[in-house]
């Protein structure tokens, strides 16, 4: 009981000292000795220079207890000074929570940081199993690393958005590790093929989801069947709203339903959707709806409309690009096509209500724009032709003019040749 | 002598005809230069080149705590009437993936339907994926017209 | 009163008041010597014709162009899309600018290789070189006016080079840019240069240049005794031939404008990074590429500085060509000049091509 209190005291007193005097922190005997000593502690002592805690002026002693100012191991590592040594694996979360769940402590260093991570962890699958004595599950240090803990925003941190999936996969793609729990291990591989991963890595969109975005990080647990749509809906709001009002919700989000959005879109390896999901040999709808049934027909109709609009837009784009290659100015029509694409997006959104009337509206609007831009492109091509005919006419007229001048010269020089030539300087 | 005279006379006619044709050609070439110039100096119907200012509507058409999308040049703009006297306008192009944003009356903030990004009434990002704030535009009330223009 | 008598009386009336007959008589005496190199005489006239085209198309463009950052690009786009034949006027203006500079160079080199700069035509040469410099200034200032990505960044690079000149460089760059960076102030200034300052100076110099040419007559390449040459009257014989050539130039310009219209590009975005492979227009490319080749430090001199100083020295030597490239009929001096001319042509052509390819 005293040890944590002393640790807490030294943390807060150090914090106060730091707050009062942001100068060079007192020499850290822990690091000095342990970098010299040739044992297992040499590694951590070397890693420590990258650690965010050390950067904020804390020391080994602030976590492990002891006295950083003394060079005498008996003092610096004495139990009287609160030395705890290396914590047992099952004690690790509590160890970190000493500071990280204390609002007063965290306010000194990072006032906006949350202090409920430990609480959340205890509700997670990892936390519950650890409490039951299973040391194979993840603890704080397995994700955040230890001794060289970097802030989440640091690109080298294992919990930086770009690295989260990789960090989770360290255990969750390990078949041997997952075997006792009977958890599949293909999630990471699937995720790497997904649009979300592409968004993060190719488009640099760090807001794209990875494991923690849907599963939670500290309170990690797979979303239940009835809440998958809610989870996807935190970003894909309108899709979720339409789905909620559709006939599919009761079916997919009920017991044994397959898990909301996941049924059609998969969970980890979410692919870029296309009308092939609606109709054709790879149709997802065909999994439940017989060919020829009303829902299947609706799906086919929606697919045809959407493909039609996509094709119309592409046709416009081709014609406009051709006109542009000829040097015609078509930027306005090209910008207008963006509106058509927006309508295409809206139509793909609308189909999630599973009602064709909802899809009809954006399709019609988009087709109108596509027609308009196609006409603009064709007009541009006609204008290009007009210019070339005009050029041909001008060149012919110029040629005539040149001939006219030539004949005039001939006439002048035939008559007055004598007078014109042979003039000396 | 008669022969050479008539040959000369015939030749003269031909030469005159050719002269007229050639002269006509020269004249035509000058017209072909002058015609485009004449059409050029005639101002086209749509007289304004770029959009610096757009009349977004009448004051009474927009209720307090509501917004509408207005075309500003070739991009959409969002006009928001915050209350009776305060108006705001922004570029309606979301900074995440360029969807068109809208005004949410319930939450009194600007929202993007594509990935649930939200902006406050200063255009700053409040939540969600957008990386940058919305460009703000200036709103002026002229009589009973609401005018949106680029900020100085 | 019969028509001819009326005509005579009108002309007399005008002559008493304006003295036009004097000018006509002077022009009537102008002759053009006929020899193997006569064809080169056309290039001065072509250059002048193209200046006229630029003046006319420039005035027309001014009816719609707006010289502010907010509106410049849009006004050019408006010209290209909404104004009838706007595409034609603008494309002619842009192509003619390039043709103009090309013909000015050809004209200059034809003068070099026929040694037409020799006494008493030194001042003609001088005014001509200044005119060439002014044409390059027109090109540089006009290039920025559409305010698209390429022109913005090319101007940045160009004024950076100016800034690296010794002593006065930064001050000159500041004067050109109207501030520390290329921006709205630069656009305003370049518009001022392009539309009034350079034209006024150019027309003054062209006047001087032409007057001097009339005074001294057409130069004949040394080695050909002028007395033995056939002479063609300028009016109307040579002039009519020039008209044919000018019509031909018009045909070329129209073809270029219709088949290879000048592109609009994208509106300048100062906060974006420069487009890959940004480089100046071809008439600056040789110098640009040379500067790129020079290592950043030569001995203890900064490479770019050395390059610019080198160009300065070269320009000074070139301007003074009449004084070292000719001495009466001294063939040796002429050979130096010819050699220098050949070297310069080869250098310019090679490095311009290299600048494009690399």
pLDDT in tens, C139-167: 999 999 999 999 999 999 889 888 888 78
Q: Which residues of C touch B29 (CB under 8 A)?
A: 247
Dihedral (CA of A230, A231, A234, A238) sign: negative
What tokens does C16 get?
Answer: 């008493």
- Residue C353 in domain: no
Q: Decide if C296 is inside a domain.
A: no
Contact indicator for B116, B110 with CB cutoff of 8 Å: no
Give yes or no for B17 touching A (CB within 8 A).
no
Residue A202: other Cβ atoms inside 10 A: 9
List the 231-270 stretch of A: residues with Cβ below 8 A of C.
none
Q: How confident is the model at residue C51 (pLDDT cuts 50, 70, 90)?
A: very high
Q: Count Cβ atoms within 10 A of the Cβ of residue C277 and give its class: 0-12 exposed, 13-18 middle, 19 or more buried.
A: exposed
- As a whole number of angstroms, the distance between CA C304 and CA C160 comes to 11
Q: What is the pLDDT of residue B1?
A: 47
Q: Does A403 touch chain C (CB under 8 A)?
A: no
With 0-12 / 13-18 / 19 or more C-beta atoms within 10 angstroms meaning exposed / middle / buried, residue A53 is middle
Q: How far is C84 from chain B (nearest CA, A)?
A: 5
Q: Are B63 and B81 in contact (CB under 8 A)?
A: yes
**Alpha helical stretches, state H, A193-282:** 195-201, 211-215, 228-233, 237-245, 248-252, 262-265
In the predicted model, is pLDDT for residue A422 greater than 50? no
Residue A186 near residue A170 (C-beta atoms within 8 A) = no
Query: A395 and C254: CB-CB below 8 Å?
Result: yes
Q: Which residue of A has its CA nearest to C83?
A: A329
Measured in angstroms, the CA of C296 and the nearest CA of chain A are apart by 35
Instruction: Give the DSSP H/E element, type plus range, for residue B136.
Output: strand B136-142
Residue A335 has its nearest CB partner, among B74, B96, B116, at B74
How far apart are the C-alpha atoms of C73 and C71, rounded to whole Å? 6
**Token digits for C293?**
């080749």
- Confidence label for C200 from pLDDT (cuts 50, 70 and 90): very high
* Any domain includes C83: yes
Contacts of A237 in chain B (CB under 8 A): 113, 116
- Residue C333 maps to a domain: no
Q: Which CATH number does the domain housing residue C80 bear?
A: 1.20.810.10
Q: Please provide the distance, in angstroms rounded to a whole number, between the alpha carbons at the two ends of chain C.
A: 74
Q: How many CA atoms are closer than 13 Å to the CA of A6, on its beta-carbon side?
A: 15
Residue C228 placed within a domain: yes
Look at the alpha carbons of B83, B88, B91, B94 in this order and tell me if their dihedral is positive or negative: negative
| Residues in CB range of C136: below 8 A, 6 or more apart | C101, C283, C284
Task: Collect all residues of chain C within an 8 Å Cβ-Cβ radius of residue B43.
Answer: 83
According to the model, what pLDDT value does residue A418 have?
Answer: 47
Cβ neighbors of A357 (< 8 A, separation 6 or more) are: none
Bigger pLDDT: C305 or B88?
A: B88
Residues C185, A367: Cα–Cα separation, whole Å: 45
Q: Which residue has the tokens 């040789």?
A: C286
Helix, strand, coil proportions of chain B in percent (round to 5)?
30, 35, 40
Q: In the prediction, which pLDDT does C42 show?
A: 94
Q: Do C71 and B44 touch (CB under 8 A)?
A: no
Residues 83-142 of B with CB under 8 A from C: none
Exposure string (b/e) for C153-179, b if CB count within 10 Å is 16 or more? bbbbebbebbbbbeeebeeebeebbbe
pLDDT at A321 (0 to 100): 92
Contacts of B84 (CB under 8 A, 6+ apart): B64
Tokens representing residue C132 in the block: 């060439």
Question: In this structure, are residues A73 and A94 in contact, taking their beta carbons and an 8 Å threshold?
Answer: no
Residue in chain B lying closest to C83 (CA)? B44
Q: Strand ranges (DSSP E) for chain C?
A: 31-34, 230-233, 297-298, 301-302
Per-residue pLDDT, A424: 40
Q: For C263-295, how does the pLDDT look when each residue is reduced to its tens digit (9 = 90+)?
A: 888 888 888 888 887 888 888 888 888 888 888
- What residues of chain C, 28 to 87, have a C-beta less than 8 Å from chain B? 56, 60, 63-64, 66, 70-71, 73-75, 77-78, 82-86
CA B66, CA B83: separation in Å to the nearest integer?
9
Tokens representing A8 are 């807490």
Cis peptide before C175 (omega within 30 of 0): no
The bridge status of strand B102-104 relative to strand B109-112 is antiparallel
Which among B11, B93, B101, B113 is the top mutation candidate for probing chain A, defined by the most A β-carbons within 10 Å of its own β-carbon?
B113
Inter-chain CB proximity C74 and B44 less than 8 Å: no
Q: Judge: B37–C77 Cβ closer than 8 Å, yes or no.
A: no
Is the confidence at residue A425, as pLDDT, over 50?
no
For the segment C103-110, the average pLDDT, to the nearest whole number, is: 95
Instruction: Indicate whether C311 belongs to any domain.
Output: no
CA separation, residue A205 to residues A156, A197, C1 (Å): 17, 9, 91
Cβ contacts of B39 on chain C, cutoff 8 Å: 84-85
The model's confidence at residue A1, banded by pLDDT at 50, 70 and 90, is: low
* Residue C129 near residue C108 (C-beta atoms within 8 A): yes
d(CA C58, CA C67): 13
Quick check: B50 and C74 CB within 8 A?
yes
- CA dist A265 and A284 (Å) reads 9
* DSSP 8-state symbol, A27: P
CA distances (Å), origin B107, targets B44, B65, B93, C5? 45, 10, 19, 92
Question: Per the CB < 8 Å rule, is C89 touching B150?
Answer: no
Q: Running DSSP on this structure, what letter comes out for residue A227?
A: G
**Residue A94 CA to its chain's centroid (Å):** 32
Q: Do the Cβ atoms of C167 and C228 come closer than 8 Å?
A: no
Binding-site residues on chain A for chain B (CB distance < 8 A)? 205, 207-208, 234-238, 332, 335-336, 338, 342, 345, 393-394, 397-398, 400-401, 403-405, 407-408
Of C64, C85, C250, the CB nearest to B36: C85
Share of chain C above pLDDT 90, in %: 53
Q: How many CB atoms lie within 10 A of CB C203?
A: 12
CB contact under 8 A, C243 and A424: no
d(CA C123, CA C133) in angstroms, rounded, equals: 15
- Nearest residue of C to residue A411 by CA position? C237
C-beta atoms of B36 and C84 within 8 A: yes
Query: Is the pLDDT assigned to residue A315 strictly greater than 70?
Result: yes
Q: Is pLDDT at A12 greater than 70 in this prediction? A: no
Dump pLDDT digits (tens) for A332-354. 888 889 889 989 988 998 999 98
Helix axes C122-144, C86-113, angle to 10 degrees: 150
Domains in chain A (CATH in brackets) are 1-86 (no CATH), 101-221 (no CATH), 294-395 (1.20.140)
Report the Cα–Cα distance between both ends of chain B, in Å, rounded.
Answer: 88
Which chain A residue is nearest to residue C78, measuring alpha carbons? A329
Q: How far apart are the first and last CA of chain A?
A: 121
Residue B99 to residue A207, Cβ atoms within 8 A: no
Say what the ipTM of the complex is: 0.81
Residues of A in contact with B126 (CB under 8 A): none
Please indicate, yes or no, if residue C271 is contained in any of the structural domains.
Answer: yes
**In this predicted structure, what is the pLDDT of residue B87?**
93
Angstroms from B136 CA to nearest CA on chain A: 21
Per-residue pLDDT for A284 more than 60? yes
Contacts 24+ apart (CB under 8 A), A37-41: none
Q: Is the pLDDT of residue C27 over 90?
A: no
Contact C22, C217 (CB under 8 A): no
**Cβ within 8 Å, pair C64-B46:** no
Q: What is the pLDDT of residue A189?
A: 94
Angstroms from C174 CA to nearest CA on chain A: 35
Chain A: residue whose CA lies nearest to B101: A342
CA separation for the pair C240, C247 (Å, rounded):
11
| Average pLDDT value for chain B | 84
Which residue in chain C has the smallest CA separation from A398?
Answer: C247
- Cβ–Cβ gap B26/A404 under 8 Å: yes
Q: Are strands B125-127 and B117-119 parallel, antiparallel or unpaired?
A: antiparallel
Cβ distance A397 to B129 less than 8 Å, yes or no, reads no
d(CA A271, CA A198): 10
Find the helix packing angle between C86-113 and C42-62, rounded to 10°: 150
Q: Could you give the count of Cα atoms lying within 13 Å of B112 in the half-sphere of its Cβ?
A: 29
Select from A11, A217, A2 the least CA-distant residue to A98: A11
Instruction: For chain B, say whether C323 makes contact (Cβ under 8 Å).
Output: no
B46 to chain C, any CB pair closer than 8 A? The answer is yes
Long-range Cβ pairs for the range A162-170 (8 Å, 24+): A162/A200, A162/A201, A162/A206, A164/A210, A164/A211, A164/A212, A164/A217, A165/A191, A165/A192, A165/A197, A165/A210, A165/A211, A167/A143, A168/A143, A168/A211, A168/A212, A170/A142
> What is the per-residue pLDDT for C206?
97
A408: CB partners within 8 A, 6+ apart: B22, C240
Contact A401 B25 (CB under 8 A): yes
CB contact under 8 A, B32 and A207: no
Chains that contact A by 3+ CB pairs under 8 Å? B, C
Please give the pLDDT value at position B72. Answer: 84
Q: Which pTM was predicted?
A: 0.72
Query: Is residue C260 domain-resident?
Result: yes
In angstroms, the CA A216 to CA A222 distance is: 8
Q: In this complex, do B49 and C70 lie within 8 Å of one another by their Cβ atoms?
A: no
Contact at CB, C251 and A399, closer than 8 angstroms: yes
Model pLDDT, residue A206 = 86
B75: nearest CA in chain A?
Answer: A335
pLDDT at A386 over 50: yes
Which of A262-271, A411-420, B43-52, C159-168 is least confident?
A411-420
Interaxial angle between packed helices C122-144 and C198-216, expressed in degrees from 0 to 180 and rounded to the nearest 10:
150
Residue in A388, A399, A423 closest to C258 by CB: A388
Cβ contacts of B18 on chain A, cutoff 8 Å? 407
- Look at A425 and C217 and tell me if their CB atoms are within 8 Å: yes
Work out how many domains chain C is built from and give that number. Answer: 1
Give the three-class secondary structure for A327. Answer: coil
Chain C contact present for A327, CB below 8 A: yes
Mean pLDDT of C39-45: 92
Return the number of CB contacts < 8 Å for B and C: 46
Looking at every residue in chain C, the average pLDDT score rounds to 89
Q: What is the DSSP string of C172-235?
A: HHHHHHTSSSSSHHHHHHHHHIIIIIHHHHHHHHHHHHHHHHHHH-----TTS-GGGSEEEEII
Domain of C227?
Answer: 25-280
With CA atoms as reference, the chain A residue closest to C85 would be A387
**Interval C217-254: pLDDT, tens:** 888 887 777 777 888 888 888 999 999 999 999 999 99
Kindly determine whether residue C31 and residue A394, on different chains, have CB atoms separated by under 8 Å.
no
């Amino acid at each position: 009981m005293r040890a944590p209190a002393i640790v807490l005291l030294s943390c807060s007193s150090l914090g106060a000292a730091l707050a009062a005097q942001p100068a060079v922190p007192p020499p850290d005997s822990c690091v000095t000795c342990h970098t010299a000593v040739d044992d297992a502690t040499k590694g951590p002592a070397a890693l420590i220079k990258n650690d965010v805690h050390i950067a904020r002026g804390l020391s080994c002693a602030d976590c492990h207890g002891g006295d950083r100012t003394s060079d005498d191991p008996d003092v610096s590592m004495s139990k009287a000074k609160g030395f705890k040594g290396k914590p047992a694996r099952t004690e690790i979360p509590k160890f970190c929570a000493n500071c990280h769940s204390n609002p007063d402590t965290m306010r000194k260093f990072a006032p906006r940081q949350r202090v409920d991570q430990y609480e959340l962890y205890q509700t997670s699958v990892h936390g519950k199993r650890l409490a039951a004595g299973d040391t194979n599950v993840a603890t704080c240090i397995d994700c955040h690393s230890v001794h060289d803990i970097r802030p989440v925003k640091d690109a080298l941190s294992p919990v930086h958005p770009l690295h989260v999936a990789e960090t989770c996969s360290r255990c969750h793609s390990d078949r041997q590790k997952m075997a006792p729990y009977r958890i599949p291990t293909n999630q990471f591989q699937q995720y790497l093929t997904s649009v979300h991963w592409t968004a993060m890595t190719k488009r640099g969109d760090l807001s794209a989801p990875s494991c923690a975005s849907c599963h939670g990080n500290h309170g990690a647990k797979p979303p239940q069947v009835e809440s998958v749509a809610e989870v996807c809906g935190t970003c894909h709001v309108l899709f979720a709203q339409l789905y909620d009002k559709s006939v599919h919700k009761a079916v997919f989000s009920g017991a044994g339903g397959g898990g909301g959005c996941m049924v059609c879109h998969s969970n980890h390896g979410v692919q870029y959707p296309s009308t092939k999901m609606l109709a054709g040999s790879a149709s997802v709808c065909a999994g439940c709806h017989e060919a020829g049934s009303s829902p299947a027909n609706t799906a086919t109709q929606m697919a045809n409309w959407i493909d039609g609009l996509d094709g119309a837009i592409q046709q416009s784009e081709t014609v406009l690009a051709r006109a542009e290659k000829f040097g015609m100015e078509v930027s306005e029509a090209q910008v207008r096509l963006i509106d058509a694409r927006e309508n295409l997006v809206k139509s793909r959104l609308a189909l999630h209500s599973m009602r064709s009337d909802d899809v009809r509206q954006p399709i019609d609007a988009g087709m109108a724009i596509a027609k308009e831009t196609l006409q603009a492109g064709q007009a541009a091509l006609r204008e290009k032709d007009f210019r070339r005919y005009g050029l041909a006419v001008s060149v012919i007229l110029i040629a005539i003019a040149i001939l006219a001048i030539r004949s005039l010269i001939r006439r002048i020089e035939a008559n007055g040749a004598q007078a014109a030539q042979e003039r000396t300087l | 002598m008669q022969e050479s005279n008539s040959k000369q006379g015939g030749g003269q006619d031909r030469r005159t005809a050719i002269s007229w044709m050639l002269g006509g050609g020269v004249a035509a070439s000058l017209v072909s230069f002058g015609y485009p110039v004449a059409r050029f100096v005639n101002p086209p119907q749509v007289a304004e080149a770029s959009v610096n200012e757009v009349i977004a509507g009448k004051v009474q058409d927009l209720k307090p705590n509501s917004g509408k999308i207005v075309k500003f040049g070739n991009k959409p703009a969002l006009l928001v009437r915050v209350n009776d006297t305060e108006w705001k306008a922004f570029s309606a192009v979301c900074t995440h993936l360029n969807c068109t944003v809208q005004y949410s009356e319930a939450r009194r903030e600007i929202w993007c339907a594509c990935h649930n990004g939200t902006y406050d009434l200063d255009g700053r990002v409040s939540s969600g994926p957008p990386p940058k704030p919305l460009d703000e535009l200036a709103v002026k009330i002229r009589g009973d017209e609401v005018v949106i223009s680029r900020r100085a | 009163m019969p028509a001819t008598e009326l005509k005579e009386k009108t002309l007399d009336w005008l002559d008493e008041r304006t003295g036009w007959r004097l000018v006509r008589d002077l022009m009537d005496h102008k002759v053009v010597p006929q020899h193997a190199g006569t064809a080169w005489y056309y290039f001065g006239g072509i250059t002048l014709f193209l200046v006229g085209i630029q003046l006319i198309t420039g005035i027309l463009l001014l009816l719609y162009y707006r010289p502010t950052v907010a509106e410049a690009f849009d006004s050019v786009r408006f010209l290209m899309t909404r104004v009838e034949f706007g595409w034609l006027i603008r494309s002619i203006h842009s192509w003619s600018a390039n043709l103009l500079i090309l013909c000015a160079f050809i004209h200059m080199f034809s003068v070099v290789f026929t040694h037409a700069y020799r006494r008493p035509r030194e001042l003609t040469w001088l005014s001509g070189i200044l005119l060439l410099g002014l044409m390059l200034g027109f090109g540089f200032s006009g290039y920025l006016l559409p305010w698209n990505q390429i022109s913005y960044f090319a101007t940045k690079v160009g004024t950076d080079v100016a800034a690296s000149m010794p002593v006065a460089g930064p001050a000159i760059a500041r004067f050109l840019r109207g501030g520390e960076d290329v921006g709205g102030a630069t656009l305003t200034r370049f518009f001022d240069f392009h539309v009034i300052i350079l034209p006024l100076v150019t027309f003054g110099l062209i006047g001087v240049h032409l007057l001097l040419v009339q005074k001294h007559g057409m130069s004949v390449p040394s080695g050909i005794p002028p007395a033995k040459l056939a002479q063609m009257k300028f009016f109307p014989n040579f002039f009519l031939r020039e008209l044919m050539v000018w019509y031909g130039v018009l045909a070329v310009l129209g073809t270029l404008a219709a088949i290879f219209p000048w592109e609009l590009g994208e509106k300048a975005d100062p906060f974006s990074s420069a487009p890959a492979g940004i480089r100046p227009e071809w008439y600056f490319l040789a110098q640009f590429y040379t500067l790129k080749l020079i290592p950043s430090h030569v001995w203890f001199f900064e490479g770019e500085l050395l390059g610019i100083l080198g160009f300065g020295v070269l320009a000074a030597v070139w301007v003074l060509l009449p004084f070292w490239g000719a001495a009466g009929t001294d063939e040796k001096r002429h050979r130096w000049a010819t050699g220098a001319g050949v070297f310069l042509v080869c250098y310019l052509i090679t490095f311009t091509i290299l600048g494009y390819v690399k």
